[in-house]
Amino acid sequence: MKHYDYLIVGAGLFGATFAYEAGEKGKSCLVIDRRDHIAGNVYTKEEDGINVHVYGAHIFHTSDKKIWQYINQFAEFNNYINSPIAVYKDELYNLPFNMNTFSKMWNIRTPQEAKDIIASQIAELNITEPQNLEEQALSLAGRDVYEKLVKGYTEKQWGRDCKELPSFIIKRLPLRFTYDNNYFNDRFQGIPMGGYTQIVEKMLEHADVVCGVDFFDMRDEKNRLTGQLPDGTQVSYDKILFTGQIDEYYDYKFGPLEYRSVRFETEKLDMENYQGNAVVNYTDREVPYTRIIEHKHFEFGKQPTTIISREYSSEWKPGIEPYYPINDEKNNELFAKYRELADQEKNVIFGGRLGNYKYYDMDKVIAAALETVKEELD
């Protein structure tokens, strides 16, 4: 039987960061993933010289200098700035909502003109206590911005009418009164030249890695610190770092947590440039997809062909890949029950988006993993 200090379930950023740091401290790690590749949702694969973001657009951004320096040890980043475009019917707008957006929408030039129009639209509606997401968005941005850029996109994302969605989903709508299309406010931003998979490969250099393995198939039900790999190898470990779904780990004892999921239709096109931008959102309800990603623009590609992915938001059910935790009151209460069980574990650590039932940007995933390393190994 082969023995490891840690079994790490999930080869995404959280698991890989932990594996790298544990390896640097002399710990042995076995990393498994039920998918047939490493890197989780940040997985990129090269096709025709283009690094395809297989599970959707991933732009690394952070204001934490230490995290920026940390990730840069594994790859060189370019100077990509995320500047999405929104298409509403036959109209095209810059995102995030800024003076370029307002200038196009109302044929104006100055910040004061934009502020006056938005304020007058909000005043006309006279919404004092928003009862749903629609009223919340209207009370923050007025009718034009809501109708053209928020309503349809949000309804596609959540699969229901904005009047049926709770107001807390949108706590604020950032309205920028400058001509600035940079989506993020963070100090550091970019895409790794050559894609994200190389980063995770380097992070896992100290570990043994086996893909295409389901933890629930390999584990020994009587002794959860032992298991058998598909090739018959018997393995044991002192601790488990689990980055899968916490509710699945506990056999859905209190019922399943809810998620939103996304699916992608990816297509190679025999043309040099399809849409002229990496990310284009489609904000009217009638277009079935939420956005189209043209992957070459993440790295300023000049290839003769291009690859696009249409992104569709979808309801989640067990068996479908979960993406976004739905952190409403009902699900948070359910998660608290699972968290209580997790806190009693002596040999199992939960981490990542699914293990902690929490949406993380990439920099926050790495920061959380490093914090876990500190608690566990320092």
Catalytic residues: 172, 176, 260, 291, 311, 359, 361
CB 133 within 8 A of CB 162: yes
Tokens of 175: 């309205």
Sign of CA dihedral 364, 180, 136, 151: negative
- Cα 30 to Cα 237, 249, 370: the distances in Å are 9, 18, 18
Residues with Cβ within 8 Å of residue 320, at least 6 apart in sequence: 261, 314
Q: In this structure, which amino acid lies at residue 174?
A: P
241: phi then psi, degrees, rounded to nearest 5: -105, 115
DSSP code at position 156: H
Which regions of 137-242 does DSSP assign to beta strands (E)? Answer: 188-190, 208-211, 226-228, 234-242
- Cα 149 to Cα 155, 185, 265, 275: the distances in Å are 11, 20, 23, 19
N-to-C CA span, the chain: 28
CA angle 59, 62, 65 (to 5 degrees): 135
CB 52 within 8 A of CB 307: yes
CB 44 within 8 A of CB 52: yes
Burial of 4 (0-12, 13-18, 19+ CB in 10 A): buried
Tokens of 36: 């047939």
Q: In this structure, which amino acid lies at residue 141?
A: A
Residues with Cβ within 8 Å of residue 190, at least 6 apart in sequence: 59, 60, 77, 78, 79, 80
9: phi then psi, degrees, rounded to nearest 5: -95, 105
Tokens of 99: 């003076």
- Separation between Cα atoms, residue 281 and residue 91, nearest integer Å: 12
